Structure 1
Amino acid sequence: MTLSEEERDRLADIVRLQPTKNNELQERWGLEGGSEVHSYLEDHLGDYYYRNENSYICATPEAADLVDVEPGVEGDDDGVQVIRVPELEAQVFEVVAGPDDRSESVVSVLQSVRDAFDTDPGVDAVREALGNLRRKGVVETVYRTVPTYKLAVDREGVAVEVV
C-alpha cells in the first residue's frame, strides 16, 4: 500500500503520540469530530494502526519503520527514558509533583503551569495532558477526595522532546 504525503504525515503523528485518542488526532489534523478521525484511520491507515486494550490508538511496528519516526515513549526494563509530547504536556511534566511529593489536583497543576510558563491553558487541557502523561507511564493518579497526580518516575531520568 503506497501512502500519500498526508497519510505519511498523519501516520507519523500516530507513531509520535501513541497511545493517543480520537480527539487528540482530531485537533492535530483539524477534523470535525472523532467519527471523522475513525473514518480516516479505517479508510487510509487501517493496516498501520490498532487499538490497545484501553481503546487507545497505537501504531504497528511496521508503521514506525515506514515513517522512520520514534514512538512517543522509549524505555526498557528500567522504565521510561524518553517521551515525545506536545508543549503543554512537557510543561505539565516539568511542574507536576515529584514521585516523593504529595500528589496535587488538576487545579494546582494548572496554577503551577500558569506561574512557571506565563501561559493560560484551560483546566480541561491540563486534565487531558495529565491523562496523556499517565497513559505514557510517567504520571500516576492518587485518589483522594478528588483525583490527584504526581510523577511515577524520576523527572531527571526522562528526556522530554516537544513535538
Structure 2
Amino acid sequence: MIKDDLKQYVILLFLTIILSSCAADNPVRRESVDMDFNGTDCISIRTIRDYTALDNRTLLIEGPGKQNYYVRLVMPSFGIRSSFQLGVKSRDDYLCPYGGDQIVFGGLDHERVSVRSITRLNAEQLKDLLIRYGKIEPEEQPDPGPVELDGAEVEELGEVT
C-alpha cells in the first residue's frame, strides 16, 4: 500500500513538473516568418546614412536609397540608446557580421560591440520591426460592427398559482 502511494506521488510530481514547464510564461516576440534574424548581409560603411537603436542589442541602420538593415549585436550595451554618434571598426570598407567588425559608440571610453548579424529588410519587415519595438503604432483595424444573430424564440409559460 505504501509503495502504491509513493508511486502515485512520484507520477503526480512528474506530471506537475511537465505541465508547469509547458505553461511557463515565456515572453516570445512575434517574428516574421520570412525574416532571417541570422542574416549575413554587409553594408558599405560609406553609404550608412542614419541609425536607430531599437533596444540595447539591436540597431536599424539606413543605407543607400533608404535601404534598411536590421543589425543585432553580440552582447547588449546600455550606452547605445543614448549615444549621439555611431562609428564602425572594420578591416575593409564594409560592415559585416563576420571578420571581427564592431560598432563603436559612447562618450570618452568608446565602447565597442561586435556584430552578430545583419539582415536587409523590405518595407513590410521594416514596418513589422518598428511596430514590435514600439517605434510606430500599429494601424487600427476597422471595427466589423455587431454581428447579426438569429435569436432564440421565447416561450411564454403559463402562470404559476
TM bucket normalised to smaller: under 0.3
> Looking at both structures, which has the greater relative contact order when contacts are Cα pairs under 8 Å and sequence separation is at least 6?
1
Q: Which has the higher strand share?
A: 2
Normalised TM-score (structure 1): 0.21
Q: Which has the higher helix share?
A: 1
Normalised TM-score (structure 2): 0.22
